[in-house]
């Protein structure tokens, strides 16, 4: 099974699951086969703040991902993945391989529309959300 995982690089160079899908610095396609995992492809995050999910979703699907993992995810990314049949799951671990393995082994909880709303409330309440002025 192939899973797209949003990543951030720590100061010591390790890659961990990003706290928010759109805030990732990289996106990895991780393949899990009989409990073993390996990164089969990597995408550097597209420039800009919003809309990354709409770019990453088709890339992930083209590379064989049928699942995505996230700690938090916005509506645009969630909609982009679900529209093409890629299921989104909660990341319970910061370790990218463990997060992907949990999906492959059926231990991960599916991400829901309510989770997307909660993600938005959390980012808004903690000052991480930016409203765009279209005027």
Res 54: pLDDT:
86
Angle separating helix axes 75-83 and 52-62, nearest 10 degrees: 30
Res 38: pLDDT:
97
- Tally of CB atoms within 10 A around 52: 24
Res 90: pLDDT:
96
Q: What is the pTM of this model?
A: 0.85
pLDDT of 7 strictly over 90: yes
Q: Partners of 70 in the beta sheet?
A: 90
Residue 14 CB-half CA count within 13 A = 8
122/106 Cα distance (integer angstroms): 27
- Let me know: does 82 contact 73? Beta carbons within 8 Å: no
- Let me know: does 22 contact 101? Beta carbons within 8 Å: no
- Let me know: does 2 contact 29? Beta carbons within 8 Å: yes
CA distances from residue 97 to 23, 93, 133 in whole angstroms, order as listed: 19, 9, 39
Tokens 């995992």 identify what position? 37
Q: Which domains does the chain have, with CATH numbers?
A: 2-125 (3.30.420.130)
Q: What percent of the chain has pLDDT over 70?
A: 86
- Tally of CB atoms within 10 A around 49: 9
Res 2: pLDDT:
98
Give tens-digit pLDDT for 64-93. 999 999 999 999 999 999 999 999 999 999
Q: Partners of 4 in the beta sheet?
A: 29, 68
Identify the band that residue 120 occupies on the pLDDT scale cut at 50, 70 and 90. Answer: low
């Amino acid at each position: 099974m192939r899973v797209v995982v949003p990543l951030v690089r720590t100061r010591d160079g390790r890659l961990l699951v990003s706290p928010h899908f759109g805030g990732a610095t990289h996106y990895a396609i991780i393949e899990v086969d009989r409990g073993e995992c390996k990164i089969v492809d990597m995408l550097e995050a597209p420039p800009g703040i919003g809309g990354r999910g709409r770019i990453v979703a088709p890339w992930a699907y083209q590379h064989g991902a049928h699942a995505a993992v996230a700690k938090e995810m916005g509506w645009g990314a969630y909609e982009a993945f679900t529209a093409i049949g890629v299921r989104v799951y909660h990341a319970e671990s910061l370790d990218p391989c463990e997060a992907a393995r949990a999906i492959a082994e059926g231990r991960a909880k599916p991400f829901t529309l309510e989770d997307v709303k909660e993600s938005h409330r959390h980012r808004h309440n903690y000052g991480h959300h930016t409203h765009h002025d279209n005027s």
